[in-house]
Structure 1
Amino acid sequence: MKHLIALVLKYVLLATVFFAIVPLFLRVSSAELLWFSLWMTIVAYALGDLYLLPRFGNLSAAIADFGLAFVGVWIGIGAFYDGNGTAVLNATFFSALLVALGEVLFHAYVHRFILHGQEEEKVPLLGREWQTEMAEEFDVRREADHDDQKQKS
């Protein structure tokens, strides 16, 4: 049930963005935008929210959602309409930008209410996981000479 609510919220987000941006640049029917929003919702939820978000975090998932929305609108809508290249590129870029900004908030919802009990192993990029142990001695030879002198006396 919690995934269904998340899917509905994501669908509303994507449909709102596509209905607000794409008709400004291209002549697309409402039914096509609804079907395209449904397709993008399923793909983006599975890829960005359930796979990338738990492993790489909010920023990486938002960047991936930007790329997915950019390519999806460009191929899914722009390739089927004879608009000039600038109109397709503008519709693609601005809709992907708004999707990525909305996804930052949606990822916070998903992380809090959907993934709170299913923590995946994070891929450590920076942090204490990659730190090396540091000893107090910086010159090993000097300490070895000092140990030899202690043994002689």
Structure 2
Amino acid sequence: MKHVKALAIKFISTFVLLYVILGLFYGMETGNIFLLSLVLAIVSYIIGDILILPRTNNTTATLADFGLALLVIWFMSESFTRGDNLFRVSLLAALGVTIFEYFYHKYVSNNVTKEDNQTLKQSTNLRFQTEASEELSPQKKELKNDIDRDDLY
């Protein structure tokens, strides 16, 4: 249930943000923005929030989400329209999504994956202790002295 709530928050926020940037400023259709937001929310939630964020920190996950958002927005918006160069528009939209993602990652790490982070940290911070000894196999003291004397001659 935690993941469904987090995914819904991400989708709604991404849709509103992309509607303002792509819909109001650049005239993209609402259906295309809905599909773009749905794909971006699902893909970035799985890759950025479930896989990358628990294993790294907020900055790394935010940078990964920026690259992912730029690629998804650019390729999907290029397939929706013909003849326009939408790289600048996609870059602006990806920057907006990235600013949202920075704060969203704090919510996800505190509320959704908190228990997962603790078990991941416990499983990766194993402390191994080694034991060192003088010999590999135990021998009787008399036998050892005889072997040492044979080595001398």
Check if 1:101 corresponds to 2:99. Answer: yes
Structure-to-structure mapping, 1:67-86, within 5 angstroms: 67-85=67-85
Runs (5+) with no aligned partner, structure 1: 125-153
Larger Rg: 2
Residue number among 78, 88, 91 corresponding to 1:90 in the alignment: 88
Consecutive aligned runs of 4 or more in structure 1 exceeding 4 Å deviation: none
Distance 1:103 1:81 in 2: 26
| 1:113 aligned residue | 111
Deviation at 1:80, TM superposition (A): 3.1
CA distance in 1, matches of 2:31, 2:59: 32
Q: CA deviation at 1:78?
A: 2.0
* In structure 1, C-alpha distance between the alignment counterparts of 2:37 and 2:84, rounded to whole Å: 23
Once the two structures are TM-superposed, the CA of residue 89 in structure 1 deviates from its matched residue by 1.5
Is the CA contact (8 Å cut-off) linking 2:32 and 2:80 kept in structure 1? no
Would you say 1:7 and 2:7 are equivalent positions?
A: yes
RMSD of equivalent CA atoms = 1.7
Shift of 1:53: 0.2
Other-structure match for 1:33: 33
Partner of 1:141: none
Separation in structure 1 between the aligned mates of residue 65 and residue 109 of structure 2, nearest angstrom: 15
Q: Structure 2, unaligned stretches of length 5 or more?
A: 125-153
For the residues of structure 2 that align with 1:68 and 1:51, how far apart are their CA atoms?
13
Among all aligned residue pairs of Structure 1 and Structure 2, give the percentage whose two residues are the same amino acid.
Answer: 29
Aligned length: 120
State the 1:79 CA deviation. Answer: 3.3
Q: State the SS of the aligned residue for 1:117.
A: helix
TM-score by length of 2: 0.73
Residue matched to 1:144: none
CA distance in 2, matches of 1:104, 1:29: 27
Choose between structure 1 and 2 for higher RCO, CA contacts under 8 A separated by at least 6 residues: 1
Q: Which residue of 1 aligns with 2:53?
A: 53
**Secondary structure, aligned partner of 2:114:** coil
Q: CA deviation at 1:84?
A: 2.9
